Amino acid sequence: MKFFIDTANVEQIKKAYKVGVLSGVTTNPSLVAKEGVKFEDRIAEILREVPGVESVSAEVTPDAETAEEMIAQANELIKINDNDPNITIKLPMTLAGLEACRYLADKGVKTNVTLIFTVNQALLAARAGATYVSPFLGRLDDISEDGVQLIVKVAELFRIHNLDAQIIAASVRHPDHVTRVAMAGAHIATIPFSVIEQISKHPLTDQGLAKFAADWKNTVLA
């Protein structure tokens, strides 16, 4: 399973990129709004900061309701960084979003269909030519459903039918989500920087480092 970072914060993106584990970035209107910056400028900045990653998702804005409006926005987004091939147009899981997805996929543009909450939605998005489908597990947990089970089922479905779309486990909230979606066969987990930090840590690692440091100091001083 690959890691994408789920943020529009450039400092966090730069830190994760530097570690060398990042394969992509996902943003959404809420994440960009939190940064208080112009959407297109921030996407351009992100694209410049992460050369070599496979995908940077930029979502069409909520006021684009028809496929035509989404495609018009996508055509502008594609130009942001000189037709960067890794810009990925994030589209809502609606019939209009699927129509735009099919159009863009046929033009060779990467797409990410977002706000997926059922197996059927994932199947539709895959059949509309999506490069990525994003089932949201945390938001299902929030309403007392089992979000990880959705990833388990979508992964199984894609295997049975040999579907090419990659599954991005989205709305990931904690380390256990990461382990379980990796075991379930998600191709990618998009996670906040705080969770990247959390999964790098263990109290026994800290204890072990402290012990090595203390023993080393005693040896050097002996």
Residues that bind ligand E4P (CB under 6 A): 6, 26, 28, 114, 134, 136, 138-139, 170-171, 190
Residue 206, CA distances (Å) to 87, 178, 200 in order: 38, 21, 11
Q: Specify the residue, 132 or 209, whose C-beta has the smaller distance to ligand E4P.
A: 132
Q: Which residues of 162-171 are buried (b: 16+ CB within 10 A; e: fewer)?
A: ebebbbbbbb
Q: Specify the residue, 30 or 203, whose C-beta has the smaller distance to ligand E4P.
A: 30
The backbone torsions φ and ψ at residue 133, rounded to the nearest 5 degrees and listed phi first, read -120, 140
Q: How far is the CB of 105 from ligand E4P (least distance, A)?
A: 18
Q: Specify the residue, 110 or 219, whose C-beta has the smaller distance to ligand E4P.
A: 110
Is 90 considered catalytic here? yes
Q: How far is the CB of 110 from ligand E4P (least distance, A)?
A: 14
Choose, from 34, 90, 153, 211, the residue flagged as catalytic. Answer: 90
33: Cβ contacts below 8 Å, ≥ 6 apart: none
Q: How far is the CB of 27 from ligand E4P (least distance, A)?
A: 7
- Compute the distance between CA of residue 61 and CA of residue 94 in angstroms, rounded to an integer: 14
Q: How far is the CB of 165 from ligand E4P (least distance, A)?
A: 14
Q: Specify the residue, 6 or 44, whose C-beta has the smaller distance to ligand E4P.
A: 6
Please state the separation of Cα 189 from the chain's center in Å: 6
Q: At what angle do helices 147-160 and 119-127 cross, to 10 degrees?
A: 40
- Compute the distance between CA of residue 199 and CA of residue 122 in angstroms, rounded to an integer: 27
Catalytic residue set? 90
